[in-house]
Amino acid sequence: MPEPKPLFNQVKIKVKAASICSSDMSYWLSESVSYRLNPPVILGHEGSGVVVEVGEGVHHVKPGDRVIAETTIETCLECDACMNGQFNNCTRRKGLGSSANGFFAEYVVALDRSVHKIPDHLSFEAAALLEPMTCAIHGVMEKADVRPYHTVLVSGPGPIGLFAAQAAKICGATVILSGTTRGLPRLKLAESFGIDHTINSNTEDVTEVVNQITKGRGVDVAFECSGAQSAIYACMESLKFGGTYVWLGGMSSNNGELCIEYNKLFGGKELKLIGARSTTPAAWNMALRLVEQKKMHVQELVTHTLPLEEWEKGFGMVMNREAIKVILNPELTIGEKGVQK
Ligand SMILES: [Zn+2]
Ligand SMILES: [Zn+2]
């Protein structure tokens, strides 16, 4: 690929850290999510780096600044979603790593208003995780109405689930996080972050434990972040009457098709169903303030750093759940030791 040039209102960034997301795995493995993907394109939508060049009209960052970038690089600015600042829902939106070249490269070009300076204390690796954090914040703090007196179930202790559980905790809720035996180390990590209860869904009945904790009431809000059919059911079953089910990044297998007891759940139980797709500039603002105030555990989620050339190994580690987050660093060469924790 030729080295990119920043156009008007664009910023060229030398990539220092790019994180592998499970949606990158889906893009790589299947064509079922191709509605978001516009190949040929360089993947990678979670990254950080240093500004090396700015296009005309860019004033808020300069070469040498440590930055992260929202993935939005182009929107129509005309549609209803754009008028409301919800660029995630613009149908003509172009995003880094899906419809425009992303972070799995030495350089990336981002839109100026999508670029933010990184707080000094935050490493490039941790900064790369702000994108998934903002997706969790969008779901928890913008889409769902989590209150301090709520009990919340987060299903799936992947990166989104770990951030969603923390965000719900920051909102003051009592938080229950469920995962499988394979996710036990992640559940332990969540406990160290102060998450109130964890459930191993392979050995415990999620709904039963939820009923014990909530004295039979059920949870007020359930965030489904795993995409597993059994977990989707467990969330619906665990919700109270009138509770809110939030689809949060859990890409369901089976091409997203799901058979549910529609009458029983939505008619009989008056559940509310909310989708939380991607993120918004407002959620980025919230995420930046939360990390500035050191209210989110981020660095702990980075378990491996690899040279960009070893992307395939990194994808494998994400797929077999060996890693929580794998960072690809284009400046490392094969054989060099990355940060291992
Ligand atoms: Zn992602
Ligand atoms: Zn638009």
Residue ranges of domains in the chain: 10-129+298-329, 136-276
Q: Kindly report, residue by residue over 268-293, the tens digit of the pLDDT.
A: 889 999 999 889 999 999 999 999 99
C-alpha 71 – ligand 1 centre gap (Å):
10
* 3-state SS, residue 262: helix
Predicted pLDDT at 193:
98
Ligand number with the minimum distance to the CA of 27: 1
CATH says 136-276 is which class? alpha beta
What tokens does 307 get? 């040279």
Ligand number with the minimum distance to the CA of 78: 2
C-alpha 281 – ligand 1 centre gap (Å):
16
Predicted pLDDT at 341:
37
Ligand number with the minimum distance to the CA of 96: 1
Output Rg (C-alpha) for the chain, integer angstroms: 20
C-alpha 191 – ligand 1 centre gap (Å):
24
Task: Read off the pLDDT band of 31 (50, 70, 90).
Answer: low
Ligand number with the minimum distance to the CA of 86: 2
* Helix runs in the chain, H state only: 22-29, 80-83, 124-128, 130-137, 159-170, 184-192, 206-213, 229-238, 262, 281-292, 311-319
C-alpha 113 – ligand 2 centre gap (Å):
16
What tokens does 189 get? 């990590």
DSSP code of residue 332: -
Residue given tokens 């994808």 in the structure block: 315
Q: Kindly report, residue by residue over 121-130, the tens digit of the pLDDT.
A: 999 999 999 9
Which residue type occupies 26? S
Ligand number with the minimum distance to the CA of 91: 2
Ligand number with the minimum distance to the CA of 23: 1
Q: Which fold does the domain 10-129+298-329 belong to in CATH?
A: Quinone Oxidoreductase; Chain A, domain 1 (3.90.180)
C-alpha 65 – ligand 1 centre gap (Å):
24
Residue 214 CA to residue 56 CA, distance in Å, equals 56
Q: Do domains 10-129+298-329 and 136-276 have the same CATH topology?
A: no
Task: Read off the pLDDT band of 253 (50, 70, 90).
Answer: low
Ligand number with the minimum distance to the CA of 26: 1
C-alpha 143 – ligand 1 centre gap (Å):
18
The whole-model pTM stands at 0.93
Predicted pLDDT at 34:
57
C-alpha 131 – ligand 1 centre gap (Å):
7
Do the strands 151-155 and 174-179 form a parallel or antiparallel pair, or are they unpaired? parallel
Q: Kindly report, residue by residue over 76-123, the tens digit of the pLDDT.
A: 999 999 999 888 889 899 999 999 999 999 999 999 999 999 999 999
Predicted pLDDT at 340:
44
Q: Kindly report, residue by residue over 180-200, the tens digit of the pLDDT.
A: 999 999 999 999 999 999 999
C-alpha 217 – ligand 1 centre gap (Å):
33
Residue 46 CA to residue 18 CA, distance in Å, equals 6
